[in-house]
A and B are shown apart, each in its own frame.
Chain A
Amino acid sequence: MSSEIEITENMKKLVIARIEARLPSNIKLSIGGTGSMSKEEMIEHVKVEDEQGKQIIMMHINFIKAITSGELIKELNKC
């Protein structure tokens, strides 16, 4: 399920704003079961758009798409 979506500067700004506003400083993220990253490290990965940064961006974008398409609600109503 590799993404073919082009990552724009606006997408990066949106993701960074969401992380800055919503993630408490005591919460860390692990991608792939190795290592963990702080809020500041997440933002840095997004800024430089490395592999982990792209994964964070796509997680946010996929979620927003699921909300706007109604897919998330449809799945939640299954249980």
Chain B
Amino acid sequence: MQKGLIITCPEYDDATAYLKFYSKEIIDEALSKLLKVKSVEDKELNEKDFSQILNKIDYKLVVLNGHGSSNAIWGYKDNYIIKLGKNDSLLKERIVYARSCNAGELLGLKCMEGTKDGCFIGYNLPFIFYMDARWTTKPSNDNVAKIFLEPSNQIPISILKGHQASDAHEKAKEHMLKNMKKIVAGPQNDESTLYLEALWNNYLGQVIHGKKEARL
């Protein structure tokens, strides 16, 4: 496996636009380390093309943004890109971060069974974030979405910095705890507890499977 990053960046609504915006930070970190990057965008985000990409490009780190379920991850709209029992073995020896609902429950667990050097970090609950509709065309100004998406970005960024997968997992959880503490200690708005609920959901749901010592 080569040191490099494959990242899916679907963009077809405001939520995927936010994930794409936050993915830029991950790509920039990889490029700053002079790593190779394959950003997979809309037209290639289907099972056939994505499987071909994984077969052809053996980059160690794979970041998946998009809709998920316990046994699949989607790419562009209704096109799944990874399905348990079909092409999940293509992830087996990689370090995978899935910013998707529920994929940590079964897909992440099963695709890492018997792995030597692979690791899967994802969620066994829905991945949730709030956003401020006033900033959907300029996510960089959205301080609400930042509360949720910065900790999630920390997972691939820590791995790109050379940390092992379990450290990246723990750092992201610590970041969520810090954000929860900031909300508790800060001015109490009506919406504060709703943000706490969503952060707690992501904190509770984040899981790691496979070789926890895996690193790039």
- Chain A residues contacting B174 (CB-CB under 8 Å) are 78-79
Pick the contact of B128: A1, A29, A35, A66 (CB < 8 A): A29
Q: Which residues of chain B from 116 to 170 have a CB within 8 Å of any chain A CB?
A: 124-134, 136, 144
Within 8 Å of chain B (Cβ to Cβ): is A9?
no
CB distance from A76 to the nearest CB of B (A): 6
Q: In the complex, what distance in Å separates the CA atom of A23 from the CA atom of B192? A: 9
Across the interface, name the chain A residue whose C-beta is closest to B205: A1
- Chain A residues contacting B44 (CB-CB under 8 Å) are none
Q: Is the CB of B14 within 8 A of A33?
A: no
- Chain B residues contacting A5 (CB-CB under 8 Å) are none
Are A33 and B19 CB-contacts (below 8 A) given A18-B194, A79-B177? yes
- Chain A residues contacting B178 (CB-CB under 8 Å) are 79
Q: Is the CB of B16 within 8 A of A23?
A: no
Within 8 Å of chain A (Cβ to Cβ): is B193?
yes
Per-residue A-contact encoding for B32-72, CB less than 8 Å = 1, 0 else = 00000000000000000000000000000000011110100
Are A22 and B180 CB-contacts (below 8 A) given A1-B124, A1-B125, A33-B67? no
Centre residue among A27, A34, A35, A66 by max chain B CB count within 10 A: A34
Within 8 Å of chain A (Cβ to Cβ): is B112?
no
CB distance from B149 to the nearest CB of A (A): 10
- Chain B residues contacting A32 (CB-CB under 8 Å) are 66-68, 100-102, 126-128
Are A23 and B204 CB-contacts (below 8 A) given A33-B99, A55-B126? no
- Chain B residues contacting A13 (CB-CB under 8 Å) are none
Q: Is the CB of A36 within 8 A of B13?
A: yes
CB distance from B137 to the nearest CB of A (A): 13
- Chain B residues contacting A30 (CB-CB under 8 Å) are 14-15, 18, 128-131
Q: Is the CB of A28 within 8 A of B130?
A: yes
Within 8 Å of chain A (Cβ to Cβ): is B198?
yes
- Chain B residues contacting A22 (CB-CB under 8 Å) are 190-191, 193-194
A-B contact pairs, 17 of them (CB 8 A): A22-B193, A23-B191, A27-B131, A27-B133, A27-B144, A28-B136, A29-B129, A31-B126, A32-B66, A33-B16, A33-B99, A34-B67, A35-B15, A63-B196, A63-B201, A79-B174, A79-B178
